[in-house]
Amino acid sequence: MNFDHLKGKTCVITGGGGVLGTSMADALASVGMKVVILDLNPGAAEKLVKQISEKYSVEALGLAANVLDKKSLEEAKKTINDKFGPIHYLVNGAGGNSPKATTKVEQLIPGKGDIWTESFYGLDMEGFRFVFDLNFLGTLLPTMVFTTDMLEAGKGGVINISSMNAIKPLTKIPAYSAAKSAINNFTEWLAVHLGKTGIRVNAIAPGFFLTNQNRFLLTDEKTGKLTPRGEKIISSTPMGKFGNPEDLSGTLLFLLSDLSEFITGIVVPVDGGFSAFGGV
């Protein structure tokens, strides 16, 4: 595939300092795009900027920004416009889960365990709200801020990051599952809302990749081996493995490029066959 038409275009990626964000930023830089990496951790953003700038000789910018603070995003946009001009594309990569929004058991079994601490009834509401807001509002607010240049230009693209949890909610993580399901709905809604503006809105639903946010659920911290949950996932993934971050690159570039100029409002699974498997 030829992505020359993306060269020199400015793409903002939120959560760029994370495992998947780093890989996606690398993919954007590999085709000559100007990459703006937003992250709560400015050190992580700057480290990645240095890495991709040296590797691909592209212009890159790292900024500290909070995807839940509209003013913070607006300040970041002003800096981007001053340095790179208008924004052409947005990748909403910020998100994640937390142990505070996770139940200790997969199912509530009457008479077994402590219902009030281990199940749905013991969920920490502050943790639940944080995870839901980070994933959903952390997609909505950057989209509201960073697509205004695209609106003026009459062309642009937004990529949201969904999850397998949006298709079939996984046990133990209700906040993350609910938020990613909302991402799917929002992707479709916004694609229709902006359908005549030239801005296309699509999403990628990764299967299972080991990241800093889910490692505690999938691997044993002491032994490094898979947890029973991790084993279940691998056995339910026809390819029999976790995804590599680079596995998202092709889909990302395709959906941003003019190769998909008549595609909007879709969610593409990149999951090793997980969503196609019925368990038998």
Is-catalytic flag, 176? yes
- List of residues 6+ apart from 114 with CB closer than 8 A: 122
| CA distance readout (Å), 215 to 105, 159, 177, 226, 255 | 17, 24, 17, 10, 28
Per the residue annotation, which of 56, 89, 121, 176 is the catalytic one?
A: 176
Residues marked active site are found at 176
